Structure 1
Amino acid sequence: MKTYELFYFPSCPYCQMVLAELSNLSVKVELRNIMENMDFRNELMAGGGKTQVPCLKTVDEGSVNWLYESMDIIQYLKQQ
């Protein structure tokens, strides 16, 4: 089973685009605000290699992928 985590912060306009689209999709995505929780920021840096947001982390049977760019994230989630 795939799981999804969206790393974001509220004042980012690109994050807001992704968050707005999430309400139209039936995909469950855990939200991880990197401004409120430094552990989320550190996880993003360690796993994705940078603190750029938005970033969608997908975990599927032990395989972890990090997807950046708001339009790429939206397109990916629409296909799920």
Structure 2
Amino acid sequence: MKQYELFYFPSCPFCQFVLNELPAIDKQVSLKNIMDNFDYRNELMAGGGKTQVPCLKIINDDKTQWLYESQDIVDFLKAE
């Protein structure tokens, strides 16, 4: 079963776009505010290679994928 984690910060308009779309998407997505928790920022940098938000971390068994770009994130979650 896939797990989803969204790295974001509240003042980012692209993050707000994704956050506003989440209620209409029937997926459980954990939220990780990189401004409130520096460990989340470090995790994003170590895994995704950059601190750009929004970023969706997709965990599928032993494979992890990092997806950037707000519209790509929304489209991916809707298609899953």
TM norm structure 1: 0.99
1:5-38 per-position Cα deviation (integer Å, ceiling 9, x unaligned): 0000000000000000001111000000000000
Query: What's 1:31 paired with?
Result: 31
Once superposed, which parts of structure 1, at least 4 consecutive aligned residues long, lie more than 6 Å away? Answer: none
CA distance in structure 1 between the partners assigned to 2:29 and 2:79 by the alignment: 14
Q: How many residues align?
A: 80
Q: Which residue of 2 aligns with 1:67?
A: 67
Q: TM-score, normalised by structure 2?
A: 0.99
**What is the DSSP-based 3-state SS (H/G/I as helix, E as strand, rest coil) of the residue aligned with 2:14?**
helix
Identity %: 64
- Aligned partner letter, 1:11: S
Which amino acid is the alignment partner of residue 10 of structure 2?
P
The amino acid of 1:36's aligned partner reads D
Query: SS in structure 1 opposite 2:24?
Result: coil
RMSD between superposed Cα atoms in Å = 0.4
Superposed, which structure 2 residues align to 1:1-80 within 5 Å? 1-80=1-80
Unpaired stretches in structure 2, ≥5 consecutive residues = none
